[in-house]
Amino acid sequence: MVTIDDIKAAADRIRDVAVRTPLLPAGWADPDRPLWIKPESLQAIGAFKVRGAFNALARLDEPVRARGVVTYSSGNHAQAVAFAAAAFGVPAHVVMPEETPDIKIEATRGYGAEVVICGPGQREIVAAQVVKRTGGVLVPPFDHPDVIAGQGTIGLEIAHDLPDVENVLVPVSGGGLAAGVGTAIKALCPNARVYGVEPELAADTVEGLRLGHRVDWSIEDRNRTIADGLRSQPSDLTFAHLQQVLDGMITVTEDEIRDAVRQLAYQARLVAEPSGATPLAAYLKQATPPGRTVVVISGGNIEPPMLREILAG
């Protein structure tokens, strides 16, 4: 299991490449539930994923890293690995499912990575083929301790900036973010509650945690949600962390997600992608006890037509 020391070590490694995002006080929120926003959408790649990817690459031995890296991702982790590989000057191959928004494919190519498009549910298989062909190292999007530790640096920063935080809300997809943030918060702010947030239409982790074991939802079911970054499912490793560090799960509807994207733009002056807005959606429906609350806005990579459509809603 990832420890707070792993997360502190990751923080030292990523210091020069990750933006130290501030906690933004949201004066427009319910005074009984004072709200702060952690805007990971402001990372250079538009999402928190740079933290885990860079930490994972930094941990590789130099001759191993020089062979190049391979990953699969519906988007933000792809850009993160491409960005980190460029920072280290090593090649990157990124397998992306065909339903990935164009903006994320183009951004990944923009960092110099080679993109391999695959069919739905095929990305892990195709990535394994690319590893075999290129001799590169697989940097998975969440199923790795170094990735979890990197994402956990967000929790470290929250604990530093708001030591008396009472609720922390994070989106759950593959679970790396929630595992890392939860580990950091539980270690440093033991009285704080940590909640995972999922769309109703991709709520496999809600069901899994209730049953005490991972469950599989079909990729067709998970693809129904507008939150394209939340269509993955935890691995054994991340699920074990979630069982240990989460105080609960909250589901949000598609309309609630859209409303949260609007509120972030109009009230917080932030462009968020639907996945990134889910913690605010959970906050707005008052699904947690009152108290000082931090929502982690995980990313802001939304295609302009979708942003315009949601803002018009």
In the region spanning residues 107 to 126, those forming contacts with its own copies, defined by CB under 8 A, are: 110
- The binding track of 231-270 with respect to its own copies, each residue x by CB under 8 A or -, is ----------------------------------xx-xxx
27 contributes a contact to its own copies by CB under 8 A: yes
Please, what is the minimum distance in Å from the beta carbon of residue 39 to its own copies? Answer: 7
At 190, which amino acid appears?
P
| Beta strands 24-25; 35-39: pairing state | antiparallel
Interface with its own copies: number of residues (CB under 8 A): 31
Closest CB to its own copies among residues 239, 283: 283
171 contributes a contact to its own copies by CB under 8 A: no
How far is the C-alpha of 109 from the C-alpha of 78, rounded, in Å?
Answer: 9
Please identify which of the residues 38, 49, 104, 186 carries the catalytic annotation.
49
Please, what is the minimum distance in Å from the beta carbon of residue 23 to its own copies? Answer: 8
Q: Annotated catalytic, 218?
A: no
How far is the C-alpha of 77 from the C-alpha of 134, rounded, in Å?
Answer: 20
Tell me if 56 sits within 8 A of 73, measured CB to CB.
no
How far is the C-alpha of 167 from the C-alpha of 181, rounded, in Å?
Answer: 12
311 contributes a contact to its own copies by CB under 8 A: yes
45 contributes a contact to its own copies by CB under 8 A: yes
Which of the stretches 24-32, 150-158, 165-173, 227-235 binds its own copies when contact is defined by CB under 8 A? 24-32
Helix ranges restricted to H, 34-114: 50-59, 62-65, 76-88, 102-110
Which of the stretches 16-24, 66-74, 142-150, 221-229 binds its own copies when contact is defined by CB under 8 A? 16-24
278 contributes a contact to its own copies by CB under 8 A: no
**Torsion angle defined by CA atoms of residues 221, 226, 229 and 232, in that order, rounded to the nearest 10 degrees:** -10
Residue found under tokens 């009285």: 191
Determine which residue in the list 131, 272, 284, 296 makes contact with its own copies, applying CB under 8 A: 272
At 109, which amino acid appears?
R
Q: Which residues contact 100 (CB under 8 A, 6 or more apart)?
A: 74, 75, 78, 117, 228
| Beta strands 69-72; 137-138: pairing state | parallel
20 contributes a contact to its own copies by CB under 8 A: yes
* DSSP state letter for 121: T
Determine which residue in the list 85, 148, 156, 271 makes contact with its own copies, applying CB under 8 A: 271
Q: List residues with catalytic annotation.
A: 49, 298
Q: Which residues bind its own copies (CB under 8 A)?
A: 19-22, 24-28, 39, 41-42, 44-46, 83, 110, 265-266, 268-272, 300-301, 304, 307-308, 311-312
